[in-house]
Amino acid sequence: MGIRMLVPLILAVILASLGSSSDYGLAVYGNANLDNIIDENDIAYLNKIINGSVEPTEFADANNDGTIDENDILQIEQIINKSEKKLIYMDIFGEAVTVNKPIERLVNLGWNGVDVTRALGAENLILAVGNDYRKSTPISYPYISQLPAVGDSADKCDFETVLSLDPDAVQTNLEANWAVAESGRAQYEKFKDNLPGIPLISLNVRELDNLSRNIRTYGYIIDKEDEAETFASWIDKQQNLVESRIENLTDEDKKRVYFEYRRYQTKGSGDRYSKSYIMAGGKNIADDMVGPESSQYFSVFDIDPEYVIEHDPEFIFIHASTQLNASDHGFETNDPSAMAALRDDLMNRPELANVDAVKSGNVYVLDESILGGAGQTLIGSLYVAKLMYPELFKDVDPQAIHQEYVDEFCNIDFDLNTNGVFIYPPFKDN
């Protein structure tokens, strides 16, 4: 005897709270007890729902047919023993999406979806990527740099090529807060219209908000649950480390920061790049310009030099990847000259001569690979946290944690002690 659920109502509630909710650890239908794993405890909880002793939860209806009954127990049992033919998860828009299992052929259009797929040891599933930037980064992406690029957005995607690859699923570029805040829904519909019958994977794997949950969810989608748990736990550990060290900072204690994405362009505090220094105890000087109610809160916008001067940042962080060739920073070079020149350009701007950060020399150029999401944001956060608050992080070695990330989640052999340029001036000299 099943329990008829008010599924549309439940979905509406979830959709309304999805962006900030942390009440569940895994957005997979079958996660009846809302923790980080689907196991026998979910079956036990489901039985309690069926006999009426507890209320239904968001993901208790494992097969999403509107009724909680023995068929949901069967679906959970199949998920546990990895024999399920279909899996249902909740995407970035709060919608239930069904994927066919197993996924063995994947087109990965997302920027950080590629990084998460690699971190879970599954880059061999990828047939094509969206953006062709990684073709210029063979040291950091030896396998992925060889793959065809088919266009990352729905407006740029070569759908004919994608269809010819016969993927089991397509991971979209709808993987960040902007997708919900701006035009992501229209792109999603265009993906669906042009990729009929192909399941779409759209999870936020850029921002730290619920990143661990989304990684665990993705692990279930591509049958890499254990690897996802390892990666998610590593992210939780580093995030807790940073947050615990700065938790007693007052608003007056926090350093004022100007993040230069391009020359006199910056990012709102909802963006993953800004999160790197905000989580580390910095304050975005642009908050007086753009608040959470604005779509620019998650994106890039112009900033006037006079505004920067007036708000007098104590630290300035410059994004290297939008202003330099891919071969001039990060994993791809040992030569810091291009990053040094980028810093010198800002340091020598006469209008900024009296800005605190310039006078004190607290101007740093940061590589994309320590800012860009999918756990990389945490690495950048550790670096800038130690720069801003050396006493609070005196026993923390950001480069050692960075090396741990490279060794465990990048599938490359790379020694940070002797290779790469990720921050300039070099962190070891400060």
Range of weakest confidence among 21-30, 132-141, 250-259, 395-404? 21-30
* Rounded Cα gap, residues 181 and 294, in angstroms: 9
> In the structure, what pLDDT confidence band is assigned to residue 23 with cuts at 50, 70 and 90?
low
- Alpha-carbon distances, residue 390 vs 86, 281, 396 (angstroms): 50, 12, 9
What does the pLDDT read at residue 13?
Answer: 37
- Is residue 68 included in any domain, yes or no? yes
Rounded Cα–Cα distance for residues 308 and 98 (Å)? 48
Q: Which two tokens stand for residue 148?
A: 């065809």
pLDDT at 428: 62
Question: Are residues 387 and 354 located together in one domain of the fold?
Answer: yes
The verdict on residue 230 lying in a domain is no
Check pLDDT > 70 for residue 14: no
pTM, two decimals, is: 0.91
> Is 99 a member of any domain?
yes
Using CA atoms, how far apart are residues 80 and 39, in angstroms rounded to an integer? 6
In a shared domain, residues 276 and 415 = yes
pLDDT band at 422 (very low <50, low <70, confident <90, very high): very high
Residue 213 shares a structural domain with residue 294: no
* Position 15 confidence tier, pLDDT thresholds 50, 70, 90: very low
Alpha helices (H) along 99-208: 111-119, 159-164, 177-181, 184-194
Do 392 and 317 share a structural domain?
Answer: yes
CATH of the domain at 361: 3.40.50.1980
Collect all residues with Cβ–Cβ distance below 8 Å to 42 and sequence separation of at least 6: 30, 31, 32, 33, 76
Residue 181, sorted as left (phi over 0), alpha (psi -120 to 50) or beta, turns out to be alpha
**What 3 state SS string does 37-69 have?**
CCCHHHHHHHHHHHCCCCCCCCCCCCCCCCEEC
With cut-offs at 50, 70 and 90, classify the pLDDT of residue 288. Answer: very high
Q: How far is CA 116 from CA 168, 217, 414, in A?
A: 18, 12, 18
* Tally of structural domains, the chain: 3
- Mean pLDDT (whole number) for 41-64: 96
Which is nearest to 172 in space by CA: 151, 196, 144, 197? 151
Q: What is the pLDDT of residue 373?
A: 80
Domain boundary among 59, 84, 109: 84
> First CA to last CA across the chain, in angstroms?
67
Flag whether 382 is in a domain.
yes
Q: Are residues 200 and 304 in the same domain?
A: no
304 and 392 co-located in one domain: yes
d(CA 28, CA 103): 16
Position 368 in a domain: yes
Asked if residue 219 and residue 332 are part of one domain, the reply reads: no
Domain membership of residue 23 (yes or no) is yes
Same domain, 174 and 112: yes
Question: Of the candidates 56, 84, 112, which is a domain's last residue?
Answer: 84
Report if residue 318 sits inside a domain: yes
Q: Give the C-alpha separation, 178 to 19, whole Å.
A: 11
Per-residue pLDDT tens for 266-278?
A: 999 988 899 999 9
pLDDT digits (tens, 9 = 90+) for 334-393: 999 999 999 999 999 999 999 999 999 999 999 999 998 888 999 999 999 999 999 999
Do 178 and 38 share a structural domain? no
Q: Is the pLDDT of residue 16 over 70?
A: no
* 255 and 334 part of one domain: yes
Answer yes or no: do 151 and 77 share one domain: no
Could you tell me the residue range of the domain that residue 307 belongs to?
Answer: 235-429
Q: Which residues contact 361 (CB under 8 A, 6 or more apart)?
A: none
Q: What pLDDT was estimated at residue 10?
A: 36
Strands (E), 172-254: 200-201
Cβ-Cβ contacts under 8 Å for 105 (sequence gap 6 or more): 125, 127, 165, 166, 167, 168
Residues 41 and 11 in one domain: yes
Mean of per-residue pLDDT scores for the chain? 92
Residues 6+ apart with CB under 8 A from 47: 73
- Cα separation, 72 vs 82, in Å, equals 15
In a domain, 295, yes or no: yes
Single residue among 55, 84, 113 that ends a domain in this structure? 84
